Every structure is written in structure tokens, then in C-alpha cells.
Amino acid sequence: MKAFKPEDIHIYIIDDDKNIRINTTDLLSTQFSHIESFSSPKNVIKKISKSLPAIILTDLRMPDADGLEYALEMLKIDPQLPIILMSGYGDITTAVDAMHNGIYDFIEKPFDTNRLIDTLHRAIEKRFLSLSLQQTKEELNHRDNINSKIIGHSSSIVQLRQDVIDFASLDIPVMIYGETGSGKELAARCLHEYSHRRKERFVALNCAAIPEQLAEAELFGNAKGAFTDAQHARVGKLEYANNGTLFLDEIESLPMGIQAKLLRALSDNMITPLGSNTEIPINCRIVSGSKEELRNHHEFRQDLFFRLEVATLNIPPLRQRTEDIITLFEFFCLQHCERLGTTYQATNTQAREKLIAHTWPGNVRELINASTRFAIKHCSDIDYALESKDTFLTPISEQRPLKEQVEHYEASLIKLKLAEHKGKVAKVLDTLSIERRTFNQKCVRYGINTTDFKDKN
């Protein structure tokens, strides 16, 4: 729930008499900003929720509705909702009894103006306090959930979780440093999910993956005809993430010219799409990721650096937090086994020793890869799981030729999809968008027997 102030709370006036609604609204408008009037409680009860920033001022008796009856129905939805009954002299006993059932107060007609305004002020304060408490509880529950997102017990990860929570609500630019595969995007998503922007878009962009000639259009958008292939106008990532969060990973890869334009856009909170003269306002939080230190970086503008690095998160490589390796490995194994429909078997001592001894050059991304292979092998072949030297995650000095790496990845992917779909070839063909003939050729080449993956139950 977005943070609010007492003056944001609405007053709902319910009365079948149009003149009373108009006069009461005019009277209260000198003191309160948000007033809505209704001729029947039937039009209001569908609006009631536990997070509605409003109080109710309702007539007790109306020709087509019993104000008290509807008031009690509203209290069933939200017992903390302040409801004030407007009653005639003959209804005072009924109104007093209603207060024992949760009604906040009653006002006798004709109104004593000072008493009415004082009662409304107190009711608004009560509503504000109850909603603030509710919001605090939600945020505390939300805070606890971060332990299931950023996983680990090492002191560096405990500090990372705390920093994410602290920075999330501040709505400031954050720079996240970490090696490839260490979890920078996960930290960025958490910053978004624990902020007031969480209901808006989280947009991630890997700056290293954008061709230099398309970087400007990707970030700022382009008008139709702005360049040869621009057959349609296109919204850029800064505009697409409006009111949300934009994560710029590997931001050190941005060309210098684009860095200058990005700095101007963030300074003015305005962008101009490529090929257009129209300025568009933007309001998004920028979270950046880098595997290189950007302070005094010779290829990164320092004025942009100081705008982006207001706060810093540092994600350590997996090899520096070995106490988290087993926890992470088993967490992802459980996820894969659940998805594959297999039974998880905990790693034995020998397997754990191998996991901890592994250097994890690909960090958590490599660990997820290994846990997937372990699950495919029914949690019994740790050597197969750690066969990472054939993959793109291995340091360059140990890499095999590209052709062998591609073949190994392709074979692993086919096995994974066969395991996921329990040997149902038709589903694998659909998932991988591959023809059956090509699929059969690859299975023969890689020695894959589809029957090994069929459900034996």
C-alpha cells in the first residue's frame, strides 16, 4: 500500500436527501479536501475494503435502505472502518446501541457544526492510524520474505539483505557491483519489489547486449522513420519503465555518447526519442549493475557515475561465501525436482565436499546449472552435475572449442526438456520449436535415448 497522509483520507456522505448531501458537502469542504456523496449505501458497500482510505458519514434511516444495517455489513468487511451515524432525536437510543456493535460515533440532526467537524477529524485520525499499522505489518511480512529471495547465511549476504531493505524505500539510484552470474538482477528486483514502485514495471536491460547503433533507440525510443528499419514508432526502456524501476546491467558497456544523453535525461527527467523533437517526461528509478569499479573508470563519465551511485550494493562471488554453497545448491535442487516430478535426495558428505571445493567461476548462475543436471540424474551423480568445464561458464583458459561447447549445451538442453516433460517428445518439440527429424538426428548424435526419461510409474 502506498504511503499516505491523513489529508488523503476521503469522507463518504450517504443520505437520500439531495439537499442535505449538498449542504453537508459545502460545509465540510472548508475543512476537508476529499468528499464524496451518495444517495444510498448500496453504492458504497462495494467500495469497502480493509485498505480503503475513507470514513463513512451515513444517515440512519432512508426510504430504500437501513443505514445501520448497511453500516454493520461494512464493519464485517473492515471492523476498523470509522462509521458515523446521522440520526434524528427519536433514533438516539438506536444510535447509542449501535456504538456497542462497532459504530464509531453518531451525530444528532440538526448538526452542531463544531461537533461534526471535531468528530470527523478524530475519525480521520483513527483511520489514518489503523491503516498505518496495517501498512507497517505488511511491510514487516514483506521484509521477512526477502530471506527466501536472497538466500544464504554468510555475513555478506545478511548485510546485502539488510542493505536492500534499507535502500528499497528510499527511492534513490543504486549501483550494484558483482561478477557475472552473482545475482545482480535478483538484487535489483528485490529493490523494486520492496519499494513503493512494486506495483509498476520492473524493466531489465543488459547494456552489453545492445548493438552500439541501436543503443539510443533502445533507451530513449524512436519516431517512425528515424532510421532505415524504423517502420513504427517505438517506446524506449526509460519511458516503458515509467513510475517503475529500470535496471541497467553491465552499464559500463554503454557508449560514451549515450552516457552523455542518459545523464541529461536523468538530470531533466525528460527524454527525446530518436528522430523526434517532442520531449517526454519520465519518472523511473534507475538501478545499475557493473562487474567493474566505475569510480575513475577511463571509459565511464564520472558525472554520470556520481548520479548513478548514490548507494552501493556489493554482491560477493560464490567462492567467497562457501558457507552458502550447500544451502543454495539444495534449494535449487528442490525446485528442479518439484518441477520434474522427481524425489529429492539430500547430498552426501562426498558430494558436499566436491561442491565446496569447486571454484564456481560462473557463480550462482553456474550453481543453478549444476543443480539442474543433478536433478536430472535423480540427485545421484555429483560429478555429472559439476561437469562445468565444457560450458560457457568456464574460464577462457580452460575452454574447449566453441563447437564442442555448443554441442554440450545443446545436448544438456534436450535432456533437460525431456526430463521436464517426462519423455514426451511432442512437448519437447513444441518447447524447443524444432522439427522431429532434426530432433531425432541430434538424439542419435548425442546418444540420447528418449525412453530413459519416460515416467516409469
Q: If DSSP states are collapsed to H, E and C, what string results for 139-183?
A: HHHHHHHHHHCCCCCCHHHHHHHHHHHHHHCCCCCEEEECCCCCC
Helix (H) or strand (E) holding 68: helix 67-77
Q: Greatest CA span in the chain, whole angstroms?
A: 93
Summarised one tens digit per residue, pLDDT across range 42-79 is 889 989 988 889 999 998 888 777 888 888 999 999 99
Query: Alpha-carbon dihedral of residues 283, 289, 295, 300, nearest 10 degrees?
Result: -70
Question: How far is 404 from 400, CA to CA, in rounded Å?
Answer: 6
Pick from 156, 167, 171, 194: which is nearest to 314 by CA?
156
Q: Are 374 and 344 in contact (CB under 8 A)?
A: no
CB atoms within 10 A of CB 170: 13
Q: Are strands 285-290 and 54-59 parallel, antiparallel or unpaired?
A: unpaired
Q: Are 56 and 12 in contact (CB under 8 A)?
A: yes
Using 70 as the pLDDT threshold, list the residues of the chain that sit under it.
1-4, 89-92, 95, 133, 135-144, 226, 228, 230, 388-402, 404-405, 455-457
Q: Which amino acid is at 444?
A: V
Q: Are 22 and 35 in contact (CB under 8 A)?
A: no
Please give the model's pTM, rounded to 2 decimal places.
0.57
Pick from 92, 89, 42, 36: which is nearest to 67 by CA?
42
Output the pLDDT for position 140.
54
Question: How far is 333 from 327, CA to CA, in rounded Å?
Answer: 10
The contacts of residue 187 (CB under 8 Å, 6+ apart) are 150, 160, 164, 176, 178, 313, 315
Query: Alpha-carbon dihedral of residues 115, 116, 122, 123, nearest 10 degrees?
Result: 150
- Which residue stretches of 377-435 are H helix? 382-385, 402-420, 425-432
Output the pLDDT for position 2.
45
Output the pLDDT for position 455.
62
Q: Are strands 105-108 and 202-206 parallel, antiparallel or unpaired?
A: unpaired
Give all domains of the chain, ordered by start, each with its CATH number: 6-140 (3.40.50.2300), 151-316 (3.40.50.300), 319-453 (1.10.8.60)
Output the pLDDT for position 431.
83
Output the pLDDT for position 311.
95
- Residue that is written with C-alpha cell 541430434 in the block: 442
Cell numbers placing 190: 528485490
By three-state DSSP, how is residue 327 classified?
A: helix
Cell numbers placing 107: 451525530
Question: How far is 143 from 304, CA to CA, in rounded Å?
Answer: 31
Q: Are 347 and 389 in contact (CB under 8 A)?
A: no
Question: How far is 132 from 214, CA to CA, in rounded Å?
Answer: 46
Q: Are 35 and 10 in contact (CB under 8 A)?
A: yes
Question: How far is 234 from 240, CA to CA, in rounded Å?
Answer: 10
E strands within 197-315?
Answer: 202-206, 245-249, 270-271, 280-281, 285-290, 311-314
